[in-house]
Chains A and B, each alone.
Chain A
Amino acid sequence: MDFLSEYFSSLDPAAFVQALPGNIAQGVLWGIMALGVYITYKILNFADLTVDGSFATGGAVTAMMLLSGAPIWLTMIVAFLSGIAAGLVTGLLHTLLGIPDILAGILSQIALYSINLNIMGQSNRTISVDNFDLVISLRDVYMAIIAALVFAAVIMALLYWYFGTEQGSAIRATGCNPKMAPAQGINIGLDKIIALALSNGLVALSGSLMSQYQGFADVNMGRGAIVIGLAAVIIGQVIGEAIFRKRFGFIMRLIFVVIGGVIYYIVMGIVLWLKMPTDDMKLFTALIVALFLALPYLRKKRLTSFKRLVKINKKNAEAEVEENA
């Protein structure tokens, strides 16, 4: 017992509060990346693993351009465009060459690893806020939260608009019913490519923001990005649906993707605060995502299960026996 009380007394609530703003800032930044994942995973129904690579590409492009003297806004635009190019490659692998969605993404991802190394010339590059005019930095974490939220809000507004247009509607139709879409004159191959490009563009943009925030770009910074993105999407969806039920509209879904990212990072903050070993963080991530993926399924299953039916039948039979006696 001594061991337990020692453990709990060693936990410092102030340390958790202190770490909270940083967790929130990271959560919003990963939330922007999760908006990209939302486009492919939820709207297009395409599990795109390119993002692990394109996230780092965004960071790499921004770092190298900054180091060669380009203005920050230009580096972010080029980061966005490089993500679009990555998505295009995945889209072409899938539509032109018939490679299944997950494999096409994995191929792009692995290719991007080499490409990112080539862009940076080494595995990481430092971009200190002291030397560059960065948009966002952990040096001033409250400003970072505000800046990240502004970016998230603008992107959500643009996505809300785009998926309400004729083109965006066609992409939604492609994702939901790819057999029917061609019968309505929709070129589903083209629409998949557009959605993948847009998605990876956003992912690379958030990678650019992340590299500025942490002050460096690293070839491994996107490792596991797809899982974090899925975590944000799914946590947001489960919580949003619990709150809004049938009134959970498109703009709220987008907002809850970012909220999901923040919740994910707060949970990670708690796990760290509890002094869990940092080596096990990916393990916790997997557990959290598995939990939230399973929740809707288990809830549905609870309502209609074989076991439950047997129990009810047994109970009824017993009641009948009692009644007859």
Chain B
Amino acid sequence: MLEIKNVFKTFNKGTINEKVALNGLNLKLNEGDFCTVIGGNGAGKSTMLNAVSGVWPVDKGMIWLGDKDVTGLPEYKRAKYLGRVFQDPMMGTVADMEIIENLAIAARRGKKRSLRWGVTKAEREQYREMLAEFDLGLENRMSSKVGLLSGGQRQAITLLMATIQKPQVLLLDEHTAALDPKTAAKVLELSDKIIDENKLTALMVTHNMHDAIAHGNRLIMMNNGKIIYDVSGEEKKKLKTSDLLEKFSLASGGEELDNDRMLLSE
């Protein structure tokens, strides 16, 4: 479904801030894979997602979505195949527009935007049902501006926007990191449900090792722009956070897991 072949990306090349973010990254996701991604700060987790999204061109390597080589496509053209939810709840939605307008924009992702009305009557009913399933009371506030909603509600809307058309791959970039624990759990539960019901292929970056183990059928650990550990199926189910910590210090050559958030959220 998604294939990353030997991808390199260096930021600020030739300056004192030069940073090799992706260093010969390889990853192949099979259809229906729900893969969680963990790693220390600067390991390249978000960079990998941005490379797949086409936020900038990579320096070297190829990215395939399904049977299509998307390496040369800019972000807005790749959007057709992808659903994305970001860490910042402000980022995924348009604050000045109504909930329903946001959903309508997402429903037209990858399609030609014509001079037909932006939101049709049929859509209104359809979205009401979808929102009702979320059980957040949003179905009665469809004409509210998204800017008036809480961070958790906004992430829920973004999640619905990302999946309103079935994406080839759903990219979740620490999408619960900015939420309080209770809301984070609720949004994660929603993500699980949507991925499961629509049989989506998904890549979820998280800093929470428990979540990384509890969700999905596959887990990868990144360090220095590469995948250093890849586990799936039964083996993943048996994982414990202590195993992950051990694997990390082993693979990174005794390097400490310098990410407080990861340790604290154990």
Which residues of A pack against B, CB within 8 Å?
A: 162, 164-170, 172-173, 176-177, 179-188
Q: Are A170 and B76 in contact (CB under 8 A)?
A: no
Given A180-B94, A182-B79, A185-B79, are A169 and B104 also a contact pair (CB < 8 Å)? yes
Contact with A along B200-212 (1 / 0, CB 8 A): 0000000000000
Q: Are A183 and B93 in contact (CB under 8 A)?
A: no
Cα A181 to Cα B95 with chains together (Å): 12
Contact with A along B89-128 (1 / 0, CB 8 A): 0011111110001001110111101111110000000000
Given A176-B97, A177-B93, are A168 and B118 also a contact pair (CB < 8 Å)? yes
Q: Are A183 and B114 in contact (CB under 8 A)?
A: no
Cα A15 to Cα B113 with chains together (Å): 53
Given A176-B97, A179-B91, A185-B79, are A170 and B105 also a contact pair (CB < 8 Å)? yes
Which residues of B pack against A, CB within 8 Å?
A: 53, 74-77, 79-80, 82, 84, 91-97, 101, 104-106, 108-111, 113-118, 161
Q: Are A185 and B76 in contact (CB under 8 A)?
A: yes
Return A208 CB to nearest CB of chain B, in Å. 25
Sample (5) of A-B pairs whose CB atoms are under 8 Å apart? A162-B115, A166-B108, A172-B97, A182-B76, A183-B82
Name the CB-closest residue of B to A189: B76
Return A150 CB to nearest CB of chain B, in Å. 24
Name the CB-closest residue of A to B80: A185
Q: Which of A167, A176, A187 contacts B76 (CB 8 A)?
A: A187
Cα A164 to Cα B114 with chains together (Å): 11
Cα A176 to Cα B111 with chains together (Å): 21
Q: Are A170 and B53 in contact (CB under 8 A)?
A: no
Name the CB-closest residue of A to B81: A185
Q: Are B97 and A173 in contact (CB under 8 A)?
A: yes
Q: Are A176 and B94 in contact (CB under 8 A)?
A: yes
Label chain A's interface by main secondary structure: helix
Which residues of the other chain, A, contact B116 by a CB distance below 8 angstroms? 165-166
Name the CB-closest residue of A to B110: A185
Which residues of the other chain, B, contact A187 by a CB distance below 8 angstroms? 76
Closest 9 CB pairs of A and B: A185-B79, A169-B118, A166-B113, A185-B109, A182-B75, A182-B76, A176-B96, A176-B94, A185-B110
Q: Are B115 and A166 in contact (CB under 8 A)?
A: yes
Contacts A166-B104, A180-B92 given; 16 further ones with Cβ under 8 A?
A164-B118, A165-B115, A165-B118, A166-B115, A169-B101, A176-B95, A180-B94, A181-B76, A182-B75, A182-B76, A182-B79, A183-B75, A183-B79, A185-B80, A186-B76, A186-B105
Which residues of the other chain, A, contact B101 by a CB distance below 8 angstroms? 169
Return A175 CB to nearest CB of chain B, in Å. 8
Return A39 CB to nearest CB of chain B, in Å. 14
Which residues of the other chain, B, contact A164 by a CB distance below 8 angstroms? 117-118
Return B74 CB to nearest CB of chain A, in Å. 8
Given A173-B94, A177-B95, are A184 and B106 also a contact pair (CB < 8 Å)? yes
Cα A173 to Cα B113 with chains together (Å): 13
Return B120 CB to nearest CB of chain A, in Å. 10
Q: Which of B94, B114, B161 contacts A167 (CB 8 A)?
A: B114
Q: Which of B84, B97, B111, B118 contacts A183 (CB 8 A)?
A: B84
Which residues of the other chain, B, contact A176 by a CB distance below 8 angstroms? 94-97
Q: Are A177 and B108 in contact (CB under 8 A)?
A: no
Label chain B's interface by main secondary structure: loop
Name the CB-closest residue of B to A165: B115
Q: Are A165 and B94 in contact (CB under 8 A)?
A: no
Return A165 CB to nearest CB of chain B, in Å. 5
Cα A177 to Cα B96 with chains together (Å): 9
Given A180-B93, A180-B94, are A173 and B105 also a contact pair (CB < 8 Å)? yes
Which residues of the other chain, A, contact B97 by a CB distance below 8 angstroms? 169, 172-173, 176
Q: Which of B80, B94, B104, B110 contacts A177 (CB 8 A)?
A: B94
Return B46 CB to nearest CB of chain A, in Å. 14
Cα A325 to Cα B18 with chains together (Å): 67
Q: Are A184 and B79 in contact (CB under 8 A)?
A: yes
Q: Are A177 and B91 in contact (CB under 8 A)?
A: yes
Which of A165, A167, A184 gathers the greatest number of chain B CB atoms within 10 Å?
A184
Which residues of the other chain, A, contact B76 by a CB distance below 8 angstroms? 181-182, 185-188
Cα A173 to Cα B79 with chains together (Å): 15
Which of B93, B118, B161 gathers the greatest number of chain A CB atoms within 10 Å?
B118
Which residues of the other chain, B, contact A179 by a CB distance below 8 angstroms? 91
Cα A167 to Cα B112 with chains together (Å): 9
Cα A296 to Cα B84 with chains together (Å): 35
Q: Which of A167, A180, A183 contacts B113 (CB 8 A)?
A: A167
Cα A23 to Cα B84 with chains together (Å): 52
Return B116 CB to nearest CB of chain A, in Å. 6
Q: Are A184 and B105 in contact (CB under 8 A)?
A: yes
Return A194 CB to nearest CB of chain B, in Å. 11
Name the CB-closest residue of A to B82: A183
Q: Which of A169, A180, A188 contacts B91 (CB 8 A)?
A: A180
Name the CB-closest residue of A to B95: A176
Which residues of the other chain, B, contact A184 by a CB distance below 8 angstroms? 79, 105-106, 108-109, 161
Which residues of the other chain, B, contact A166 by a CB distance below 8 angstroms? 104, 108, 113-118
Cα A181 to Cα B77 with chains together (Å): 11
Cα A164 to Cα B105 with chains together (Å): 11
Name the CB-closest residue of B to A168: B118
Q: Are A167 and B115 in contact (CB under 8 A)?
A: yes
Cα A172 to Cα B97 with chains together (Å): 8
Which residues of the other chain, A, contact B113 by a CB distance below 8 angstroms? 165-167, 169-170, 186
Return B83 CB to nearest CB of chain A, in Å. 9
